Amino acid sequence: MGAALVPLLVYVVLVVVAAARAPAASAAPRAFFVFGDSLVDNGNNNYLLTTARADAPPYGIDFPSHRATGRFSNGLNIPDIISEHLGAEPALPYLSPELRGAKLLVGANFASAGVGILNDTGVQFVNIIRMGDQLRYFGEYQRKLRAFAGEEQAARLVNGALVLITLGGNDFVNNYYLVPMSMRSRQYALPDYVSFIISEYRKILARLYELGARRVIVTGTGPLGCVPAELAQHSSNGECAAELNRAVDLFNPQLVDMVRGLNRDAGADVFVSANAYRANFDYLTNPQSYGFTNVKVACCGQGPYNGIGLCTAASNVCANREVFAFWDAFHPTERANRIIVGQFMHGSTDYMHPMNLSTILAMDQLQAGSL
């Protein structure tokens, strides 16, 4: 096994060295497209009549503008931090009226809080951008891009873009385990439900490929049973909710296998699996090593563990967001998001498979420079 790894390691070293020697490219940063749920929504739901919104304080308390932007965070979220690594400004929400002209070249964020893999996930939020619509908007975006930049540049920008997609958590907490008992939990035993949503997720990723995506980061689901909302409902002693984590333990390995299958079909590493569970679990189980003093109670909220409902102006708000892992009942603080992205950027194959984001960026830069 060690001998088999040598050529790969040598290639990776050469890629990184070549990228380091390359001139600080005068070309614009690569475009970035984002799909998925509230973990990556930059404000699309602000433009919708829905209860799944984060457009009022204290959301955004640590954002550069100190204003609520629609991000479910005290500050920056995962796409924002990835954009920093790309040397780019954050991609605007697709529904933003500012997304026009040269802003189209940055990319776009199509994510919508509350959505899942399945169309019936998040029905209680009523008006959200379900995945079929996110993909339809991606096609619509490309028509606008072609009109602005021309066919050739538009195709090059989309094919060369980095894509992030985050789905799955809502299909459990806002579907299968929704109280009262959901239709899906009556229809499927948990292992069968997981197989079903994986098969539906495969269709979404295949459609992304059809639409031109050629480098897609696919995040798995974090430890759902450990978020404050689930502790508030299911835990009297601070232990994570075992049933939710059992669902995640079934989902994540099947997602990785499905991604590998898609790559075999494509004949290339188009899709890269990101182990969000591991990236979160590290600091949840060893908080002191990461500078956290509280990984169970949300910084902003109410009720047990501050895990009831969303963060509002009437909520308890912690004074120091740097030492809390969770901002609200479901979502990480900016500091936790930075730790997660750090593992995506530099972590081993335990975090990113088949390669981490730093390696991807170096390889893609080298390949683009040789064209």
Active site residue 38: yes
Choosing from 26, 37, 38, 269, which is the catalytic residue? 38
Better-scored residue on pLDDT, 196 or 5: 196
Percent of the chain topping pLDDT 90: 87
Q: How confident is the model at residue 355 (pLDDT cuts 50, 70, 90)?
A: very high
Choosing from 37, 41, 282, 328, which is the catalytic residue? 328
C-alpha torsion 145→201→249→191, nearest 10: 170
Active site residue 331: yes
230-254 pLDDT, tens digit per residue, is: 999 988 788 999 999 999 999 999 9
Q: Which of 171, 300, 289, 173 is nearest to 224 (CA)?
A: 173
Q: Name the residue ranges covered by the structural domains of the chain.
A: 29-227+234-276+349-370
Find all residues with CB under 8 Å of 56, minimum gap 6, and list them: 68, 312, 313
**Beta strands, E only, the chain:** 32-36, 107-109, 162-166, 216-219, 271-274, 300-301, 316-317, 352-353
Q: What is the overall mean pLDDT for the chain?
A: 92
90-135 pLDDT, tens digit per residue, is: 999 999 999 999 999 999 999 999 999 999 999 999 899 999 999 9
160-188 pLDDT, tens digit per residue, is: 999 999 999 999 999 999 977 689 999 99
Distance in angstroms (rounded) separating the CA atoms of residues 309 and 303? 9
Q: What single DSSP character describes residue 13? A: H
Choosing from 37, 55, 331, 358, which is the catalytic residue? 331
CB 147 within 8 A of CB 156: no
264-283 pLDDT, tens digit per residue, is: 999 999 999 999 999 999 99
Q: How confident is the model at residue 27 (pLDDT cuts 50, 70, 90)?
A: low
- Reply yes or no on whether the pLDDT at 23 is more than 60: no
**Record: fold of 29-227+234-276+349-370:** Rossmann fold (3.40.50)
**Beta strands 162-166; 32-36: pairing state:** parallel
